[in-house]
Amino acid sequence: MTQQNFKKILKKELLRIDQAGTTKRKETIIEKFVNLKGMAPKAIIKGKKYSIFNSNDYLGLRFHPKVIEAEENAARIFGAGPGAVRFISGTLKVHKDLEQALATFHQREDAIIFSSTFVLNFGVLHALIKGQSRDSLIGSDTLVISDQLNHRSIIDGIRIANLPKKQKIVFKHIDMKDLNEVLEKNKQLFQRAIIVTDGVFSMLGEYQNLAKIKKIVTQNDHHFIEGIITVVDDAHGVAAFGETGRGTEEVCKTKCDLLIGTLGKGFGADGGYIVGEKVYMDYLRESTSTYIYSNPISPGTTGAALQAVKIVDSAEGRSLIKKLQENIDYFKESMKKKNFSFAVNSSHPVQALLIGDTNKTKKLARSLFEKRILVTPLAHPVVEKGKDEIRIQLSALHSKNDIDTFVNTITQI
Ligand SMILES: Cc1ncc(COP(=O)(O)O)c(C=O)c1O
């Protein structure tokens, strides 16, 4: 009976969340998709057809016939689920083939796949920062330096490593002067430093200048006995950004030490991955709890992702990426002609329309919904007051007509 007291507290908490306007549980249910043949799919919600401008499926691969066929084939050969975790009997040939394909795609020695990138960051950051087993030889004398606007999975990954405050420093968002100062101030104080950052930042579509980070790292590396390790989570960059879809590294013409990506956005499937030198990958396979004690992605999803990687790394993939870039340019031009301004000048499929007023932002998103267009409102308190925005995500499958309809509708509203 005393549990009633806890339930009362839960109800109060739910009310607080609802009143703050940050509720997440009122999810829009998509009943099915239509228009699948090489066109941007439309979502059916309560029997009505909606244009989608808020999906991470930037290249439209989730409905690609070859991706679906590969998913079905892998499920037929290996079953619906992996049957066990990797080190028991859950490592299937299709998993190894995907890891090999990802390592080759990013020109690295090895790759590891995880059930999601969130789960990856949670486990990998912990393992890198101080090892996860009681008898680990990895000391916790680490300085972790993290961009102010990093994704929640990175923040939580650092949090669970439970470092003292002085060992985790947040640098100002994409501010290289600040990053340099953090390294300067902390030189010779720690064994190693780990710089961790998003590649593309998903709220606004801007990216971290990895070439500048590399320069700063080269200048400061000798101040740390075990060096400076760069970890970049480019979930929104891979299969979307750069001429061949290799993400922020390609745009900045440089490489980090450990590159993290997702299979659940541009690649159109599901799951997370990390690529890097073999010694890092071997260590992470031995010590990352979320890899060791959790199932890998299902065989079907793995088969689909493998096919998606093959498509991205082909003439077809490059032409999809070119089409995506043309759509981004066309969209920006059309919106500018109607006097809309963007929060930043992004060349990524994430385009943030600055509204700057919480009520207006929510109202605009509602009106677009009534006109059968899906976008994402990012309003205070999710973002800073005055930075309220409508986030639009473009796809290679959008036609000029889809974009014109969007621009005309939002202009009318
Ligand atoms: C930078 C970053 N990391 C991780 C994730 C989580 O990816 P996944 O859905 O594969 O867990 C996201 C997705 O929003 C992201 O933007």
pLDDT tens across 344-370, in order? 999 999 999 999 998 999 999 999 999
pLDDT recorded at residue 23: 86
- If you take atom 13 of ligand 1, which residue's CA is the nearest one? 235
Task: Kindly report which listed range (138-147, 225-234, 268-277) carries the lowest average pLDDT score.
Answer: 138-147
pLDDT tens across 302-340, in order? 999 999 999 999 999 999 999 999 999 999 999 999 999
**Cα 57 to ligand 1 centroid, rounded to whole Å:** 13
pLDDT recorded at residue 224: 96
Pocket test for ligand 1, best of 114, 146, 151 (most atoms within 8 A of CB): 151
Confidence of residue 38 (pLDDT cuts 50, 70, 90): confident
Q: Is the beta carbon of 200 within 6 A of some atom in ligand 1? A: no
Q: What is the DSSP letter of 87?
A: I
Confidence of residue 384 (pLDDT cuts 50, 70, 90): confident
Q: Is the beta carbon of 198 within 6 A of some atom in ligand 1? A: yes
**Cα 117 to ligand 1 centroid, rounded to whole Å:** 5
Q: Is the dihedral of CA 78, 81, 84, 85 positive or negative?
A: positive
Q: Is the beta carbon of 199 within 6 A of some atom in ligand 1? A: no
Question: Whole-prediction pTM value?
Answer: 0.96
pLDDT recorded at residue 133: 77
pLDDT recorded at residue 21: 82
**Cα 198 to ligand 1 centroid, rounded to whole Å:** 10
For the chain, the maximum distance between any two Cα atoms, rounded to a whole number of angstroms, is 65
pLDDT recorded at residue 156: 95
Average pLDDT over residues 192-205: 96
pLDDT recorded at residue 137: 84
Q: Is the beta carbon of 348 within 6 A of some atom in ligand 1? A: no
pLDDT tens across 89-142, in order? 999 999 999 999 999 999 999 999 999 999 999 999 999 998 877 788 888 899
pLDDT tens across 150-184, in order? 999 999 999 998 899 999 999 999 999 999 999 99
pLDDT recorded at residue 253: 98
Confidence of residue 36 (pLDDT cuts 50, 70, 90): confident
Q: Strand, coil or helix: what is 314?
A: coil
Task: Kindly report which listed range (29-38, 168-177, 278-287) carries the lowest average pLDDT score.
Answer: 29-38
pLDDT recorded at residue 140: 82
pLDDT at 1 over 80: no
- DSSP secondary structure of 320-386: HHHHHHHHHHHHHHHHHHTT--BSS---SSEEEEE---HHHHHHHHHHHHHTTEE-EEE-TTTS-TT
What Cα–Cα distance (Å) separates residue 267 from each residue in 112, 186, 350? 16, 39, 16
